[in-house]
Amino acid sequence: MEIFDKPLTEIANAVRQKEIKSVDLVRGFLDRIEKVNGQLNAVVLSNAEHAIKLAEKADTDLDQGNLHGPLHGIPMTIKDSLDTGEMITTWGTMGRKDYRPGPDATCVARLRGAGGIILGKTNTPEFTLWFQTDNLVYGQTKNPFDLTRTPGGSSGGAAAIIAAGASIFDIGTDTGGSIRLPSHFSGIVGIKPTTGRVPCTGNALPSSGLIAPLTQPGPMARYVSDLSYLLKIISGPDQIDPYAVDAQLHDPDDVDVSKLRIGYHTDNGIKTPTQDIIDTIENAISLLRDSGQTITDTRPAGLEMTNFIAGRVFAADGGEMVEGLLQDCHTTEASPRIKANLAAPGLPLDQREFAQVISLWDNYRSSMLGYFEDYDILICPVNAKTALPLGEEEDNMAYTYTIAYNLTGWPGVVIRGGSDQNGMPIGIQILAKPFREDHCLAVASWLEAKLGEFPKPAIYAG
């Protein structure tokens, strides 16, 4: 296997051991981006010239015994909803098409502080508020498995360029499934950490307000071990995001998967998935059963309320958050999706109704937590469908498989589990109790090893 296709841990070790120079690694991935990006429109802003200079300095510093950190000289891409100091960060909105934010987003600063080098920014819908990746600034991103289909959203640019073998990793953000859905649609791995695990400071959506607890930044990559490696770097409070907490980060290498109590379902009772998706989940469950695991077909109590509660939580502010973002960004021409959201009939709530929404949400979280009295892991689909044709209208019910766990705040990992009859990737979602990312990462790693490799996309840089 070529070094460019190996896990992050092996690439980082190769740089530290001087088996490959950072500048050769950076140039190699820039060449890969050049090879595929014209068809994908995934990387929308290049940092090539500066990245090469940083790589040259990383090599010189390493020769002098100065190790920058666990990502010394490692190239990466970053979703354009996350601020990157000296680089233009648009959040997918026209008012910021030439905007340089100054400070990095907290997770970006931590990656750079660990030695990471940004190759470019990846595409996102305006303010991250769509499950497809398209905006008026940069246009539409396409899926490397099928250029007529979406890679998902809102971290679709990240998913597409990783799947195409032209980026080692990226950082996505997930408010309703925006890490997990593109991972499923594009055949990569991704983790939405527990609410509060990683600060949201510097992301397009604010880290304050009613829906702030829904959002988490998290790594997207090619191997489960990459997710664990990166989560250690970006976790922990920054004394800015009021929801970020100082919680122990457990090591998945310490988890005995055979001792975990596992539940699963192939249908959440809201939207039945395609048969290919059901078969993929059943196959993963069979692998676990064959190893001696006791597995139970079960759903958390309250799951059926997901769409009802999510609809009210997202609509409770009457569009105030989006209108504020447009105003703050000086955007006068919003994308069609944002216009449609603002034009949709709202839910005018008085004080009593608003209080009821908050109580209903808290009761839902409490009811769902009861699942962990009997189980440690929940395995289920990521979505009711595989990657949609570009521009096809979504069925919101299909997305309840992800939004349910933004409402609860649980951590969730997605890995590829199979393919549909058209060769499109199918993901498996692995969830655990709050702050036990180690449990879902350990199960994901176990399944990754059992499932083996899958076919590469039609558009692949390697």
The string of pLDDT tens digits covering residues 271-305 is 999 999 999 999 999 999 999 999 999 999 999 99
Domains of the chain, by residue range, sit at: 3-451
pLDDT at 347: 65
pLDDT at 416 over 70: yes
Average pLDDT over residues 256-271: 98
> Beta strand pairing status for 377-380 and 169-174?
unpaired
60 contact partners, CB below 8 Å, separation of at least 6: none
Neighbours of 246 (CB within 10 A): 8
Catalytic residue among 79, 121, 271, 433: 79
pLDDT at 1: 72
Share of the chain above pLDDT 90, in %: 96
Dist. CA 426–CA 420, nearest whole Å: 7
Superfamily of domain 3-451: Amidase signature (AS) domain (3.90.1300.10)
What is the dihedral sign for C-alpha 83, 85, 88, 93? positive
pLDDT at 428 over 80: yes
Catalytic residue among 22, 155, 167, 178: 178
79 is catalytic: yes
pLDDT at 346: 67
* HEC readout, 230-286: HHHHHCCCCCCCCCCCCCCCCCHHHCCHHHCCEEECCCCCCCCCCHHHHHHHHHHHH
Residue 228: name the closest of 14, 454, 442, 10 by CA: 442
Catalytic residue among 21, 121, 142, 154: 154
Q: In the predicted model, what is the mean pLDDT of the chain?
A: 97
Helix (H) or strand (E) holding 156: helix 156-163
DSSP-derived letter for residue 31 is H
CA 342 to centroid of chain Cα atoms: 25
Does residue 427 sit in helix, strand or coil? strand
62 contact partners, CB below 8 Å, separation of at least 6: 15, 16, 18, 22, 72, 73
The pLDDT confidence band at residue 117, using thresholds 50, 70 and 90, is very high
Average pLDDT over residues 15-25: 98
pLDDT at 349: 80
What tokens were used for 3? Answer: 């070094």
Tens digit of pLDDT for each residue in 210-226?
999 999 999 999 999 99
pTM of the model: 0.98
Tens digit of pLDDT for each residue in 329-383?
999 999 999 999 888 766 668 889 899 999 999 999 999 999 999 999 999 999 9
Dist. CA 431–CA 409, nearest whole Å: 10
- Angle, nearest 10°, between helix axes 351-369 and 400-408? 100
Q: Would you call 3 exposed, middle or buried from its count of C-beta atoms within 10 A (0-12, 13-18, 19+)?
A: middle
Backbone region of residue 77 per phi and psi (left: phi > 0; alpha: psi in -120 to 50; beta: other values) = beta
pLDDT at 341: 87
